[in-house]
Structure 1
């Protein structure tokens, strides 16, 4: 338990040190929410909510605000976790090579991700109240929370597989745009095809749109987001486990070779 508490404090401190992400969240997100009514034309938009199959009519500024908030949240969470994982990766491998248990490290990373996602979603949800009143405030938070989880775990996965920060930033930016843009009612008011529900942000987008604009919220959309989160988490944990195991074995072999060399020389 003590190992978990120490690792959790360290991981939370790593996330908190990213002042650029915190500044962007504190400034960019409220600026977008407050500016959305001035950016979009005061018109009604009719679109089909794919998760329920029902047709909804809403103001374009409300739809645009939801779309923009999702884009900001997912990008910031992916950048935040990617940067933190890149910085802590070598230290984590040294810890495990020295005998620090891996399970507390993994639990600490999960705790820091859940905490950051919950706070980012709460901050965004509270700011939306400055402009309008969503129909289901709790489900709006849930949609933003799952979006933060999906792209937070994606940032962890990319940090384990990509060689540098520039590659990670490019992949995150391109992936987020290819993922979110086709799901926006402003771009695609009548979605078709089988690929849409397979995209990572499908569940979060449908949940947020339904929470803000519909009378009911589809729980299957939440399950889709949790499925993506679970899959990406499993990939990240498996890659972390294999990498630290290989490092541990290499360190052990080197120690044995060194001890044998000392014995033969003696």
Structure 2
């Protein structure tokens, strides 16, 4: 089997494993629009002043729109993180058997990254499409990029956690708690800590700052996305290194 054939086969199985998760599909269909709709209808539309750390600007935006942006990031983070975690847990034993039988580990890794990218892209596009029903951001493309960055970070986190946690309940709780600790202190409307330097170290800092830029300004600061890329790179590298180590140990045991 050639490398490309192995990759296509592995990618197909990875995407199929994602598609078989009915709970995640139901959450995608109902949780994302419900979350965004509640944020739009319940939060106050009154203008709220806040400082955008990425540019230093003081902006005035409707509380409902700010809450919708923050809520959409929370929703897609939870969904993609859980979805990737669940799929990775269900296929982990099969992946180890394939690697032990000589299947290309590069193909397996590339397939997991492909499934992560496809899932994050679809979920992000769906979430932004719902936001566009209620509101026209100043830079829709930048808003999509911000939501995609958050989805990829939590998808990589789900992949990372799948290698260390024993079951789906533990993974779901870990992802929920991580999302709360991450996004709650950054919400300009609800948190007094949103302007503290510590928030720049949180996983979704770059995504939220970029989303706020895309929603309420015509500017684009690159630094927040660099923060997102660092988080994505670190989580992905740890997850992939752990996967390689597990499959390598399994292969050595088989040879002995």
Give the TM-score band, short-chain normalised. Answer: over 0.9
Q: 1:94 to 1:32 in 2, by over 3 A?
A: same
In structure 2, runs of 5+ residues without a counterpart are: none
The CA deviation at 1:41 is 2.1
Equivalent-residue separation in structure 2 for 1:92 and 1:37 (angstroms): 43
Q: 1:35 to 1:165 in 2, by over 3 A?
A: closer
Q: Deviations over 1:120-168 (max 9, x none)?
A: 1111111111101011000000000000000000000000011222221
Contact 1:48 1:189 in 2 (8 A): no
Q: Which residue of 2 aligns with 1:196?
A: 199
1:252 matched to 2:255: yes
The CA deviation at 1:190 is 6.6
TM-score by length of 2: 0.96
Contact 2:185 2:192 in 1 (8 A): no
The CA deviation at 1:78 is 0.6
Q: Which residue of 2 aligns with 1:205?
A: 208
1:242 matched to 2:206: no
TM-score by length of 1: 0.92
How many positions carry a matched residue from both structures? Answer: 253
1:42 matched to 2:45: yes
1:173 matched to 2:176: yes
Q: Which residue of 1 aligns with 2:226?
A: 223
Larger-Rg structure: 1
Q: Which residue of 2 aligns with 1:147?
A: 150
Q: Deviations over 1:98-136 (max 9, x none)?
A: 111100110111111111111111111111111010110
Equivalent-residue separation in structure 2 for 1:124 and 1:191 (angstroms): 23
Which one of 9, 19, 41 corresponds to residue 12 of structure 2? Answer: 9
Contact 1:50 1:191 in 2 (8 A): no
Equivalent-residue separation in structure 1 for 2:169 and 2:34 (angstroms): 27
What is the CA RMSD across the aligned residues, in angstroms?
Answer: 1.2
The CA deviation at 1:67 is 0.9
Q: Deviations over 1:62-95 (max 9, x none)?
A: 0011111011000001100100010000000000
The CA deviation at 1:9 is 0.2
1:85 matched to 2:92: no
In structure 1, runs of 5+ residues without a counterpart are: 254-266
Which one of 91, 97, 100 corresponds to residue 94 of structure 1? Answer: 97
SS at match of 1:50: coil
Show structure 1 runs of 4+ deviating over 6 A. none
The CA deviation at 1:43 is 1.3
Which one of 1, 26, 50 corresponds to residue 29 of structure 2? Answer: 26
